[in-house]
Every structure is written in C-alpha cells, then in structure tokens.
Amino acid sequence: MSFEAYVHARNAALSRIAYLLTGDHHLAEDLVQQTLMRVVGRWKRVAAAGDPDAYVRRVLYHQHIDWWKRRRGTVEVPQDGEATSAPDPSDAVVHTVAVRRALARLAPRQRAVLVLRYFEDLTEAQTAEILGISVGTVKSQARDGLARLRTFTGDLTQEVAP
Amino acid sequence: MSADGRSIATVLAAVADEARPARLPADLWSRGMRRRRRRQVTAALAALALALPLLLVSRPGPETPADGRPAVPSRIDSPFPFVGTATSSPPGGASVIVTGPGGFGASGLFGGGYEDRAIVVGTNGSYRTVRHLNGFDAGESVLLSPDGRRVAGDWGMESSWQEGLGAAATTVLDLTTGHLRRYGAGAPVAWFPDGTRLLTSAGTLRVLHLDTGAVDDLGLRHETANVALAPDGRHAVVQDGSSLTVLDLTTGQTRTMATLDERHTLAGPGAWDGHGRVAVWECTPACSGVPQVALTLTYIDADTGAPATGPALRLAGVAGARLLGWQRDGDAVAVRFRDSGTSFTPPTGRRADVTAPPGGQPEVVALRPDGPGTVLVRVPAGADRVEVARGFLDRFGAAPASLRERLLDWLASHTGALVLLMAAGAALYAVRRYRRRNA
C-alpha cells in the first residue's frame, strides 16, 4: 500500500482517535500530521510488514503521551466540547458533557487506555502492546480511569446522549 | 463489557463523531523525509561526539621517533590552558623540560605562586605539565633523566610532600607511568649517565640508588656549586667557590683539580667531556655580577689539572650560558641566556654565576669552532630555564607539533575527563527520559 493511499483511507479514523486524545480540533490535526511525518521515514518497512495501521496508531498514541510530557505544566489542553457546547437541558446531554469534561482531566495514558479499550474495542493485551506497557498496568489504568470518571460525573451508567 | 464500559464507549463514540478529518499538507511525504534526514544527521553527530573520546583512547597518539631520528622540537610553544599533567596522562618519555615564573599561563584559576608548572615536551611532541614547581628551575632543581623517562625534583613536586621525609627529599616522576616515588635522600643535583642513580645533596653530596632507595653519603660538603659528572659516572667535578674538586662517586675520595680565578667557572653539567677534559667558561669581563659577558670555553685535564687543548667555542653578548654536553661530531650544546634580569641582583637562593643568571630568555644552541651559536630549540615567552635530556643531544631538528597535533593531543590528554563527562550526560539524559516516560 502506498503512503498516499493509506493516508487517504485512514485519515478520518486517525483524526477521530486524535480528537479523543487531545479534545481539540487543532491539536488533533497537529497530532495526526506529526504522526504521519514520523511514519514516512519507515514507511517502506512498515508497509512491507503488512499492517501499517497498527504501527501508525502506536506512533500516534506515543506521540500524544510525549507531547503531554513535554508540555506538562505549561500548556492546558483546551476542550472544544467545553468551549463550544452550550449546556443542554436534557439529562443525557448534560451527562455526556460531564463525561467529556472528566475525560479531559485524566492523565494521557489513562485516557489512551480508555480510548483503546472502549472506543477501539481492543483487548487488554492489544492495548498493552500498543502502549508498550504491561497488561496489569492496562487493567489498573482502566480501573483508575473509570473510577476518576465516576468521581467527576457520578453514575457513569446514566443514559448518554448519542 | 461492563455497564461503565458500555457507557464510556457510547460517550467516546459521540465525541469522536465531532472530529474533523485532519487537513494535511500536500508535501507531507517530503517533509517526513526531510525530518528523517535531519534526525539521521543529528544521530550521527551525537554518535561521533560520544565516540570521539573512545577514538582518542584507541588512537596511538603522536608517533615517537625511532632511535637516532630527530626527537627534540626546534620550537616549544606555550601550552594550551589546562593541558594534561604528566601524572594523569604520562607522555611516555620526554626530551625537553622548560620552567618559568608563572607556569606559562597554565597555572590554573588563581594565577602563579605555588601552582607554577613546568612544561614537559614528550619525545612524540606532546605537551604535559609537572605541577607545584614554585621556584624550581629546569636543569638545576628539576632534572630530566638522560633517557628522558623520568623527572627528578625535590619534595614539593606534584605536592609529593610526605611525612617523615623532611624538606630535603627527592621526588622522581616516571613519565612512562605517571607514578611518583619519594626518597628521603636530599634534593637532586644530577643524574648519573646510566639513569639508575641520582647525585643528591642534603648538606653533603649523596648517591641515591633509585631501585632500592639506598643512599651513600659521600661526605663532601655541597652548597650552591656547579657539578658535572664524568661520562662514565665514576667521578664528578664540583665547583665550590674558586675550587674545582674531583669526587670519586664510589669511595667519596676527593682531590683538588684546579683553583679558578673570578674570570673562570665550571661550564655546566656537561662540562666533563669524553676526552678526559673539563670545560670551563672564561668570562669577559667577569663570571658574575655583570649584565653581559663574552664567554669562551677553556679546558682542564681532569687527571692532571693542567690546561688542555680543545675546540675554541665562544659566545658573545649573553647574560650567561650553561654547557649541557657534546654531540658526536664535536659540537657543544649549551643553553644561552640572553636576559640578565633587570638588576642582575641574584634573588635569594639563586646564584649569580653565568651558568645560572637570574634572568631568562634561554635558547638551546650548538657551538661550533667556525662560527656563532646555531639555535637548536626556541622556548616560549616566559621561560627562564630549559633542560634537554642528555641522551637526546644528537637528536635535535624535529618539527614542532602542529596546531592540529597539539589540539588532538590536548583532547587525548583529557580522554578520561571527556569520557566521564559524556557518561554523566548520557546518564542524566537516561534518567530524565525514564522519568518522563514513567510520569
């Protein structure tokens, strides 16, 4: 598969993950762009291995964590949802906004674990492999992440706005 | 999936639906390739910086000339700041040692004083320093062995003072290993030609056997006189005031060789030649107390004390000269002093004799019967004494070390420090990276 064909096919999906990780359209765009630039240098080997998407997603997650570590304490990640969404009177929408806000307050690795486990629907082992951490760490990060969400939002099982 | 999981999955899907496909530049591929090349160049430079000390470690260093080839450079420059020391980075043997007040600007952060240093010029052209030589003079109180492999100084050299040895001690620095050895045998006066013994002085002259540390007291009183050993190392001629005395270095027996007037003085440590003659400077107008003199070598038969014939060698318009020895073709090698000092008043502890004037600007010259002295070695500004290892008197004419060679040698002399610095930097980087990753 050519690099151009891959980008054409997967840009939208990568952008969705990037948006979930960053919570900001511009940062998500930068994250995707930086990730793809990093991949270019190794594209021939990655494509030859047969599954470039797994590698690209791994780079994307690690790039995001690296960003956060570099900017920690200096940059506050904006939340498009917070800035643009007006409170909706319906309980479901209020709950969705609350969960989104709570997500933004998680550490990047916790957030990445939740995105991989519950958005990409990967197993704990697959999540561990992508993030380069142990399965035990995935379990504890997922458990802690959900616990923090509950702390911020109350009951997570309320009906949510689609 | 748990209820919490299903709920969060629904929220994540809802949030992801708001995402917009990233706008990507048309030249994304070429940007990525440029980024890759930049990283490759950076990585190569970093690897080179890390490998440089290791390359220098494995680098054989400046080549030491084979026996008989020129090994004494025609010019000695001021050393680079913080040049390596002979103890931490031994040069492996030296042909020349130079001293001067102030240590040639290499005296560290706090100027001169007790941090004065000597320059040791390796036979391979490398420069090293010998530290803590305040008031020491090359050829007088800092002596290079005939084979250039050792330096003898008194107790203070390289801070080598040791409880129990007292101030009248000799320190010998091995230039091949950097090791120091101290002897409670008095201060060094002269090396024996075979390099295994030192003539020392602690009120009386003594023979120090370097291997065993044994000391033979010869009993002859010795103050600030000139001494020259015979080439066979069995006798020495000692000037004490106007008297020239022959000393048997085995038995300690003495006999008066000659009595000198004020216009004559023993020519220097190389005065006893291979023909059984002792060379004496004839000074015009006098051998001390004058700013400039004309010097002519005259000779005394060592056995009889009678005047002897020899090559007519002279120097004019100098502050003094010190005869180091003789070359195979009969030329004499001497240190010529051009500066007599501002007042020619000898400071405490320094003789006013023409062989050791209080001034400086020395240069090593060859004296031939048919002409003026030919300069063999020029020394840096600030030098007031220079000494050449006796075994190298026929090996002048080596090219001075180039700037590049000196720079590489300077780096090589600090390899240990550079490796430590690199290791510390790498460790710091690794720790910071580890902490970032595990934050």
Write down the domain spans for chain A. Answer: 1-78, 81-162
pLDDT at B35 over 80: yes
Q: Tell me: do B415 and B336 sit in the same domain.
A: no
Structural domain of B140: 72-184+396-426
Which pLDDT band, with edges at 50, 70 and 90, does A11 fall under?
Answer: very high
If 0-12 CB within 10 Å is exposed, 13-18 middle and 19+ buried, where does residue A74 land?
A: exposed
pLDDT tens-place string over residues B222-237 = 765 689 999 999 999 9
- pLDDT computed for residue B426 by the predictor: 83
B357 assigned to some structural domain: yes
Quick check: B273 and B326 in contact, CB under 8 A? yes
A46-60, B183-197, B340-354: least confidently modelled range: B340-354
- pLDDT computed for residue B69 by the predictor: 79
pLDDT at B193 over 90: yes
B303 assigned to some structural domain: yes
pLDDT at B277 over 90: yes
B41 assigned to some structural domain: no
A 108-147 residues with CB below 8 A of B? 114-115, 117-119, 121, 146
Classify the complex by whether its ipTM is higher than 0.90, answering yes or no. no
Whole-angstrom distance, CA of residue B164 vs CA of residue B91: 30
Q: Tell me: do B91 and B165 sit in the same domain.
A: yes
B116 assigned to some structural domain: yes
Chain B nearest C-alpha distance from A162 (Å)? 5
pLDDT at B219 over 90: no
Chain A nearest C-alpha distance from B95 (Å)? 56
- pLDDT computed for residue B1 by the predictor: 65
Classify residue B87 as left (phi > 0), alpha (psi -120 to 50) or beta: alpha
Chain B nearest C-alpha distance from A43 (Å)? 10
Write the DSSP symbol of residue A99.
H
Which pLDDT band, with edges at 50, 70 and 90, does A73 fall under?
Answer: very low
pLDDT tens-place string over residues B3-31 = 777 778 888 888 888 888 989 888 888 99
Q: Is A105 on the interface with B (CB under 8 A)?
A: no
Q: Which of A32, A99, A161 sits opposite B22 (nearest CB)?
A: A32
Residues in A touching B23 (Cβ below 8 Å)? 29
Chain B nearest C-alpha distance from A4 (Å)? 8
Q: B439 vs A72: CB contact, 8 Å cut-off?
A: yes
Write the DSSP symbol of residue A52.
H
- pLDDT computed for residue B95 by the predictor: 92
pLDDT tens-place string over residues B159-175 = 666 555 555 688 899 99
B111 assigned to some structural domain: yes
Residues in A touching B439 (Cβ below 8 Å)? 69, 72
B322 assigned to some structural domain: yes
Residue B296: beta bridge partners? B282, B314
Angle at B297 between CA B292 and CA B303, to 5 degrees: 140
Which pLDDT band, with edges at 50, 70 and 90, does B324 fall under?
Answer: very high
Q: Which of A15, A96, A117 sits opposite B11 (nearest CB)?
A: A96
- pLDDT computed for residue B279 by the predictor: 94
pLDDT at A94 over 90: no
**What CATH number is given for A81-162 in this structure?**
1.10.10.10
- What percent of chain B has a predicted confidence (pLDDT) above 90? 30
Q: Tell me: do B110 and B81 sit in the same domain.
A: yes
Whole-angstrom distance, CA of residue B222 vs CA of residue B240: 7
The whole-number average pLDDT for the span B271-295 is 88
Quick check: B272 and B280 in contact, CB under 8 A? no
The whole-number average pLDDT for the span B88-111 is 73
B10-24, B53-67, B199-213: least confidently modelled range: B53-67
Number of domains in chain B: 2
pLDDT at B280 over 90: yes
- pLDDT computed for residue B340 by the predictor: 60
Q: Which of A19, A99, A118 sits opposite B19 (nearest CB)?
A: A19
Chain B nearest C-alpha distance from A59 (Å)? 14
Residue of A nearest to B32 (CA): A37
Q: B8 vs A114: CB contact, 8 Å cut-off?
A: yes
pLDDT at B102 over 70: no
- pLDDT computed for residue A82 by the predictor: 45
Residues B80, B81, B82, B85, Cα dihedral to 10°? 40
The whole-number average pLDDT for the span A94-111 is 79
Which pLDDT band, with edges at 50, 70 and 90, does B360 fall under?
Answer: confident
The whole-number average pLDDT for the span B51-73 is 66
A18 SS3 class? helix
Structure token pair of residue B143: 């002596």
- pLDDT computed for residue B287 by the predictor: 81
B280 assigned to some structural domain: yes
Which pLDDT band, with edges at 50, 70 and 90, does B64 fall under?
Answer: low
Q: Is A60 on the interface with B (CB under 8 A)?
A: no
- pLDDT computed for residue A154 by the predictor: 64
Helix (H), strand (E) at residue B118 = strand B118-122
pLDDT at B110 over 80: no
Chain B nearest C-alpha distance from A76 (Å)? 17
The whole-number average pLDDT for the span B287-313 is 89
Q: Tell me: do B355 and B422 sit in the same domain.
A: no
Identify the residue with better confidence: B1 or B199: B199
Residues 6+ positions from A131 with CB-CB distance below 8 Å: A58, A61, A62, A109, A112, A113, A116, A138
- pLDDT computed for residue A52 by the predictor: 87
Quick check: B294 and B317 in contact, CB under 8 A? yes
Residue of B nearest to A123 (CA): B1
Residues 6+ positions from B115 with CB-CB distance below 8 Å: B103, B107, B108, B131, B132, B134
pLDDT at A74 over 50: no
Interface test with A, best of B12, B37, B38, B434 (most A CBs within 10 A): B12
Q: Tell me: do B307 and B413 sit in the same domain.
A: no
Q: Tell me: do B179 and B275 sit in the same domain.
A: no
- pLDDT computed for residue B299 by the predictor: 96
A-B C-beta contacts closer than 8 Å: 120
A31-40, B14-23, B40-49: least confidently modelled range: B40-49
Q: A40 vs B4: CB contact, 8 Å cut-off?
A: no
Residues in B touching A18 (Cβ below 8 Å)? 19, 22
Q: Is A78 on the interface with B (CB under 8 A)?
A: no
pLDDT at A116 over 80: yes
- What percent of chain B has a predicted confidence (pLDDT) above 70? 84
Q: A14 vs B22: CB contact, 8 Å cut-off?
A: yes
